[in-house]
Amino acid sequence: MDTPSEKQIEKVLSEDGEQLLFNVSIENKEGMKRCTKCSQLKYKTEFSNDITKKDGLCPQCKECRSKYHKQWFKEGMLEKEEKKQLHGLKKEEEIEETLAHRNE
């Protein structure tokens, strides 16, 4: 059994706000980082670089960031299509209005 000096308890909040406790060996923690999105302990190579952060790495792993960006892009494209359709409807109304004024 590990002594308290060799073990460390790490508290992490999951996505739904539930507090999770992890027993992590300090030796296993070297070269690793916990993703803030999925709360998994992963190798630092699984994180993108971010020079604005103290450790030089993004807080979310590449997998979580990829999922986020795919969803963000999908939602953005849907919003863009909705705006196009709305703009098209406005244009049609303007054209009809203009034609109605010409015919008067």
User: C-alpha distances in angstroms, 54 versus 9, 12, 43, 50, 57?
Assistant: 22, 19, 17, 9, 8
Instruction: List pLDDT tens digits, range 58-80.
Output: 999 999 999 999 999 888 888 88
Higher pLDDT, 20 or 63: 63
Residue 20 pLDDT grade (very low, low, confident, very high; cuts 50, 70, 90): low
Residue 37 pLDDT grade (very low, low, confident, very high; cuts 50, 70, 90): very high
pTM of this prediction exceeds 0.95: no
What pLDDT, on the 0 to 100 scale, is given for residue 58? Answer: 94
